[in-house]
Amino acid sequence: MAIVKKFIPIDEVKAGMKTAEVVFNNNGNVLIWEDVVLDELTIERLKSIGVREMAIHIEQPQEISRRAYVDSPERFKLEYTLDLNKTKKMFQTIISGGNLEIEETDTIVESVFQKVDSNRNIIDSINQVRSIDEYTYYHSLNVSMLCMIIGKWLRLDSVHIKNLVKAGLLHDIGKAKVPLEILNKPGKLTESEFAEMKKHSEYGYLLVKNNGSISTEIARAILTHHEKEDGSGYPLGLTGDKLNLYSKIITVADIFDAMTANRVYKRKDTPFKVFELMQHGSFGVLDPIVLNTFLNNVTTYYIGSQVRLNTGEIGIVVFINSSNMSKPVVKVGERYIDTSISNIVRIEEFI
C-alpha cells in the first residue's frame, strides 16, 4: 500500500486518521497542524467551527507506488538535478539561436508535476545553496514548483496545476534573449540596461505565442508576470482586473524565490524577512487571495527550522503568528523568545 493525500468531507473523517495539511480558520489562524492523529473530540470541534473538509493521509493500492520514491529526499534531489540540467539546456538552445523545444519542456513539466505532493522537498529545494551564475535556471525550476503548490493550495484542478508548472518554468524564458553581460552583471544596471532587462517578458511572449502546445493563458502569463495589481508593473501597466490567475500566481512565486536567493548583485534575505516584506509591504501590489493562501501555507514548513539570532544564539522556530509571520516564537535552550514583542532579539540567519 502507498500513502497519499486526499481531501475528504469532515463527516467522513474518523478517529485515528492523520492530517495531511495544516487546517486554518477564516482568519488564517492554525486550527490543527499537519501529521496530527485525530480523535473524536478534535473532529467534533472542527465540525463545530465550520470545517467542511480536510486533507487526510489515506492508504491506496500499490498502483501509484512510484510516489514512494518521488517523495524520498534522495530521489527528489536526483530528479531536481536532472530537471535543472534540462532547464539549462532549454535556455542554452535559445541563446544559441534555436527555438523552444517543446518536447523537452514537456518532459520537465511532467517530472515536476509528479512531485505535486512533495511540499516538504519543494520548500527544502528553495532554501538550498545555488550557483549564483546559474541563478536563472534554478529560479525557473523553483518558480514552476512554487506555482504548482500554490495552485494546489488554491484547490485548482490538475489541468490548471500542470499549466501553472509550464507557465512557471517558462516565465523567464525571454531572458535567453537578454545579453549575458546584462543578465549576470554584478553591479547595478544602468538605465538603458534595466530597460533591456525589462523586455524579457515581451521576448518570452514572442517565443511562445505561436507555439500550438502553449495555451494563450500561459503565453499571457509569461508576458504579464511583472504586472502589479495597482498598475505599477510592466510592460503594459495593467491593473489586477486585467491579469489572469496564472500571472498572479507566478508573481508571488517569482518574488518569493528571487528574494530568498543569492544574486550576482545582492545577498539573499531570510525567509522570515521575505514573509515580512510580502505580508506588510505588498498592499496593492500582489493579489491578496493568492498571497494570503501562499503565506498561510508556506510558513508552516518553517516551524522546526534552526535560526541564528542577532544575539549569536541558535534556536528553533516553534510557532508562527499569522498576523506577524516574520517574527516567530523561537526556543533557545529552555527559554521561549517571542520576537514579535522583543525590541532587542531578531532573527539574523536561517540555518
Q: Would residue 290 count as lying in a domain?
A: no
Q: Examine the pLDDT at 42 and tell me if it is beyond 90.
A: no
Q: Is residue 280 part of a domain?
A: no
Residue carrying C-alpha cell 532587462? 197
Q: Does some domain include residue 289?
A: no
Top-confidence residue, 51 or 95 = 95
For residues 298 and 150, give the distance between their C-alpha atoms in angstroms, rounded to a whole number.
9
**Looking at the annotation, which residues are catalytic?**
175
Given a cut of 70, whether residue 264 has pLDDT beyond it is no
Q: Which residue has the higher pLDDT, 144 or 126?
A: 144
- How does DSSP assign 286-323, residue by residue? S-HHHHHHHHHHHGGGGTT-EEEETTS-EEEEEE--TT
What is the number of structural domains in the chain? 3
> Per the domain annotation, does 234 fall within a domain?
yes
Average pLDDT over residues 118-122: 89
Residues 136 and 211 in one domain: yes
State whether 184 and 234 are in the same domain.
yes
pLDDT > 80? residue 71: no
195 and 322 inside one domain: no
Residues 261, 172, single domain; the answer is yes
Query: Quick one: how far is CA 73 from the chain centroid?
Result: 18
Percent of the chain surpassing pLDDT 70: 92
Residue 286 lies inside a defined structural domain of this protein: no
Q: What is the pLDDT of residues 267-289, one digit of tens each?
A: 678 899 999 999 998 888 999 99
Cis peptide before 235 (omega within 30 of 0): yes
Residues 112, 253, single domain; the answer is yes
Q: What is the mean pLDDT of the chain?
A: 89
Residues 255 and 145 in one domain: yes
13 and 42 assigned to the same domain: yes
- Any domain includes 323: yes
- What is the extent of the structural domain holding 14? 2-64
Give yes or no for a contact between 86 and 137, defined as CB atoms under 8 angstroms apart: no
Dihedral (CA of 92, 95, 98, 100) sign: positive
The pLDDT assigned to 282 comes to 86
Q: Which of 59-68, 86-95, 102-111 has the lowest mean pLDDT?
A: 59-68
What pTM does this model have? 0.80
92: left (phi over 0), alpha (psi -120 to 50) or beta: alpha
What count of other Cβ atoms lies within 10 Å of the Cβ of residue 34? 20
| Furthest C-alpha separation in the chain | 64
Which of 268, 283, 315 finishes a domain?
Answer: 268
Distance, in Å, from the CA atom of 222 to the CA atom of 171, rounded to the nearest integer, reads 5
75 and 27 housed in the same domain = no
- CB–CB of 334/308 below 8 Å? no
Nearest to 51 by CA among 7, 112, 85, 103: 7
Stretch 251-261: mean pLDDT: 94
The domain boundary, picked from 64, 86, 105, lies at: 64
Are both 206 and 264 inside the same structural domain? yes
Instruction: Give the phi and the psi of residue 179 in degrees, each rounded to 5.
Output: -55, 135
| Res 120: pLDDT | 87
Q: What is the pLDDT of residues 51-60, one digit of tens each?
A: 888 889 887 6
Which CATH number goes with the domain that contains 47? 3.90.105.10
Q: What is the model's pLDDT at position 65?
A: 41
Specify the pLDDT at position 63: 47
Higher pLDDT, 301 or 32: 301
| Residue 70 pLDDT greater than 50, yes or no | no
CB 18 within 8 A of CB 57: yes
